[in-house]
Structure 1
Amino acid sequence: MLSNFLPFLYGISVFVLLILAAKIMLNGFVSSQASLKTQNSFSKKKKDDRTGLVTVHPELLNKDGCITDEDLLTVRFAKDSDHPQSSENPSE
């Protein structure tokens, strides 16, 4: 009796898992389509910062909230074609 019941239970389990997987994939597909529509509507409206102000990264601020005067570490990759530009005048 048990040997006849286990294949039936296994088949129902696989079927239920397939339906749940399809439901999850469908939800992901629907949400990605909605996010694409939202991105397109935002990109058509305005390409600037939404506040209209310049954004400053918090790493550039000191403990008083002002932009720091410290030397900052920069990283440059080997295939980078832009030459580094210093904000200071070169001392020759």
Structure 2
Amino acid sequence: MFGSIFPFLYVLVVIGLLWKAFQVMAKGFFAFQEFDNQQIPLKKDRTGQFTIHPELLNEQGKITDEELLTVRFSNDLDPPKPTQPSSE
């Protein structure tokens, strides 16, 4: 008896999951269309610009001269840069 019900339940679950997937994709599609229709000023292209982490800046907003802590891992095959002391 279970052998005859299993294919029916399987098909029912697959159809339900496909229906749910189409609902989710439709929500995303319509949300994208709404977003596309809004007049949002686009940000300027940042190609070639650098972002400095705020913790690297001192009180005056300049890059700090303090000695920074660096972490090296034992499997790191790259040799340390000349300004970095060896971790050994």
Using the size of structure 1 for normalisation, the TM-score is: 0.49
Say whether 1:67 aligns with 2:61: yes
- Structure 1 counterpart of 2:61, one-letter code: I
CA distance in 1, matches of 2:27, 2:43: 29
CA distance in 2, matches of 1:11, 1:69: 62
Name stretches of at least 5 consecutive residues in structure 2 with no aligned partner: 45-50, 66-88
Shift in Å at residue 68 of structure 1?
Answer: 0.5
Shift in Å at residue 67 of structure 1?
Answer: 2.0
Higher helix share: 1
Say whether 1:23 aligns with 2:23: yes
> Pairwise CA RMSD of aligned residues?
2.9
Cα distance 1:68–1:12, how it changes in 2: closer, same or farther (>3 A)? Answer: same
Shift in Å at residue 7 of structure 1?
Answer: 0.6
Name stretches of at least 5 consecutive residues in structure 1 with no aligned partner: 49-55, 72-92
Q: 1:42 aligns with which of 36, 40, 43?
A: 40
Identical aligned residues as a percent:
31
Using the size of structure 2 for normalisation, the TM-score is: 0.51
Q: Which has the higher contact order (CA 8 A, sep 6+)?
A: 2
Query: What is the CA deviation profile of residues 5-44 of structure 1, one whole-angstrom value per residue up to 9, with x for unaligned ones?
Result: 0010001001100100000100110111122122xx123x
CA distance in 2, matches of 1:10, 1:47: 49
